[in-house]
Structure 1
């Protein structure tokens, strides 16, 4: 019996990867709200890619491998090579390795979050951030324009600036920066919310952590927490 690995494009533009030994039946389940929890909450869905695997084990391995790809790599796989809108850096001598970019993320005072507003226009604002692995967390009110924008269109761009200075007698700025692209998701599980808020407080108010348990118990239910899963990140510096 043949097995297939497949990708679906969901109603919000995200890509879902799965495997099955009955593709028509599984596709119908996704389209009628009886498939995975992920696709049930993001209708409609459309099949955009499939490949055959020799058996169930091979299909599961290939599914796992595709899920590890960045969005750009997934789009290239299905023949839509534009991927995330991150163009090749023009000044190659200023491009820095990924490790450098993460260092900028970790030390920047704040970051600038770019989103898409309800009318399709750009919308951005500064946020304080903290990192856990390849996830970047920030907090917000439970309701408001920022939350509405992210729920409607979760694709975001985050810009961070590290050290900057103007050399004496020069008309230029030396700088460190990082730009990350990814998807913002609202954190709903209390354990992860507390973990994210602890990361934020440890980074920005480390001398006040003894009061964290009391503060989080009081404010957790009325605080929104968001997680950006970074798909692409680049660092740049003029030193």
Structure 2
């Protein structure tokens, strides 16, 4: 169902993809939008064990699209270094494909929002974090994206540099 990567030498391992998703702070969610147009929206997220979690308002384009079709993709750019003399960029990115689910179970919603709060405010005290969650959670809808397929790719120049550093043949 998913195409193999054409430039397989540039493909990242699943472990590298997971690491990028873990350290990233924003990505772009792409869904089937209104009138058959793709709808891609940047958002904050958290990644845990093959699942992405994010929040949204309880109404809007994104949520309408997710209710119509649970399939989505999510892209995170880990590196994008423009190299003008070479007319290229040294990039590293991941695209995850999967199905979304609007979280309904209260314990599951609390766990997801706690993960988001820990990621985006790591130095906060548990007490203050819980108070912020209590104050804000009523207006939020929490969504998960269970990853079914994930690929990552990096610029060939980064592949060559990695091989040089590991003292491997190019």
> Normalising by structure 2, what TM-score?
0.85
Instruction: Show the 5 A alignment for 1:51-130.
Output: 83=1, 86-130=2-46
Provide the aligned C-alpha RMSD in A. Answer: 1.5
Residue 225 (structure 1) aligns with: 142
Rg: which structure is higher?
1
> Normalising by structure 1, what TM-score?
0.62
1:215 Cα offset (Å)? 1.2
Residue 205 (structure 1) aligns with: 121
Q: How many residues align?
A: 155
Q: Show CA shifts across 1:98-153 (max 9, x none).
A: 11111111122311000001322211100111012111100000111111110111
C-alpha distance in 2 between matches for 1:153 and 1:104: 26
C-alpha distance in 1 between matches for 2:148 and 2:21: 14
1:193 and 2:109 equivalent? yes
1:173 and 2:89 equivalent? yes
C-alpha distance in 1 between matches for 2:34 and 2:66: 10
> Gaps (5+ residues) in structure 2?
159-170
SS in 2 for 1:197: helix
Highest relative contact order (Cα 8 Å, sep 6+), 1 or 2? 2
